[in-house]
Copies of this chain bind each other. A is one copy, B any other.
Amino acid sequence: MSFNIFGRLFRFTTWGESHGPAIGAVVDGCPPGLALSEGDIQPWLDLRKPGTSKFTTQRREPDAVHILSGVFEGRTTGTPISLMIENTDQRSKDYSEVAKAYRPGHADYAYDAKYGFRDYRGGGRSSARETASRVAAGAVARLVIPEVDIFAYVSEIGGDAIDMRNFDAEEIGRNLFFCPDAEAAARWEALVDGARKDGSSLGAVVECVASGVPAGWGAPLYAKLDSELAAAMMSINAVKGVEIGDGFAAARLRGEQNADPMRPGSDGPVFLANHAGGIAGGISTGQPVKIRIAFKPTSSILTPVETVTRDGEASDIITKGRHDPCVGIRGVPVVEAMMALVLADQKLLHRAQCGEQPG
């Protein structure tokens, strides 16, 4: 089955291909009475928008969102919110070679193996263009969780990591890399530009923090908050790894190093550390929820790679066209959107079972 629906109560369905007339999302289960207009969604889409610098794909899309349903007199009605974004800069001519041979690292071969054929234009459904729909849906989700503050940033590109001592949240919006370390951002200019000129690509690590999440969201066992977040992030194109809190580093610690001691505080316990990333037993603890996500380098590169054609012949392929030298960069607003979507869903799930007041 092709599951293009995400979420349990606050749910959205996305549709659309890279080179079709439009893409979109239908948000179902949104609480009624929330103030919502295109103006609440567009700024987030603009952050993800392609064509804004030489560090992102040169496809130019205004990515203007239209609300087609579910809002009346400026407020959500509780019925489905249909969001549509028209595709305006499709160029099918770029993709003729892809129709014949499989691009290694891309979904081409797997789609053919599953479905028997595929829309090869611009990656079709597997194009990162789909993530615009998530960002639009995520903007609605944010309205459901005003108590939560979410921010994400790139912490590493091509193995070059930020220095946490330089961390400055304000810096994230000042450079083209969503980088909180001005020095790293400066280094990355050369790094990413070099990859772009080489026709190569770079991987990246994105980190996301959600503060203000109250204790009690999430659920044992198969809907642990860790699980939901991991599934959400792994559904983003090019993501191949997810860590909650210390993640793999925790596997190298001893129990006493990994503990997050607690002390009495004025408003519930105060934690002295956050190795757990704000989640214990699958349920939020009230600490910031922290997650790290690994983006592989895109497989769209100009270096020829050995491959096979649909007919089973040996071939070489280079991926011409317009591509991101580092897809992880534009992944930042997508990661934030998925965080918002998971948390909005969890908020509704929690009050379903436990009522408005925890416990």
Given the known A-B contacts A250-B297, A251-B203, A261-B305, are A78 and B115 also in contact in the complex, defined by CB atoms under 8 Å? yes
Given the known A-B contacts A222-B3, A255-B200, A295-B251, are A102 and B354 also in contact in the complex, defined by CB atoms under 8 Å? no
- Please determine whether A16 and B69 come into contact, CB atoms closer than 8 angstroms: yes
Judge whether A43 is part of the interface by a CB distance below 8 angstroms. no
Which residues does chain B contribute within 8 Å of A250, judged by CB atoms? 203, 240-241, 294, 296-297
A254, B200: Cα distance in complex, Å: 7
Judge whether A216 is part of the interface by a CB distance below 8 angstroms. yes
Judge whether A146 is part of the interface by a CB distance below 8 angstroms. no
Which residues does chain B contribute within 8 Å of A30, judged by CB atoms? 2, 353
- Please determine whether A79 and B124 come into contact, CB atoms closer than 8 angstroms: yes
Which residues does chain B contribute within 8 Å of A8, judged by CB atoms? 1, 3
- Please determine whether A79 and B230 come into contact, CB atoms closer than 8 angstroms: no
- Please determine whether A80 and B251 come into contact, CB atoms closer than 8 angstroms: no
Instruction: Find the B residue at minimum CB distance from A313.
Output: B264
Q: Copy number of this protein in the oligomer?
A: 4
Give me 5 A-to-B residue pairs in the complex whose CB atoms sit less than 8 angstroms apart, sorted by A's number.
A29-B353, A108-B280, A200-B254, A250-B297, A261-B305
- Please determine whether B1 and A255 come into contact, CB atoms closer than 8 angstroms: no
Judge whether A14 is part of the interface by a CB distance below 8 angstroms. yes
- Please determine whether B13 and A80 come into contact, CB atoms closer than 8 angstroms: yes
Which positions 285-323 of chain A face chain B at CB distance < 8 Å? 285-286, 294-301, 303, 305-308, 312-314
- Please determine whether B109 and A215 come into contact, CB atoms closer than 8 angstroms: yes
Which residues does chain B contribute within 8 Å of A158, judged by CB atoms? 252, 254
- Please determine whether A220 and B305 come into contact, CB atoms closer than 8 angstroms: no
- Please determine whether B3 and A105 come into contact, CB atoms closer than 8 angstroms: no
Which residues does chain B contribute within 8 Å of A36, judged by CB atoms? none
- Please determine whether A296 and B224 come into contact, CB atoms closer than 8 angstroms: no
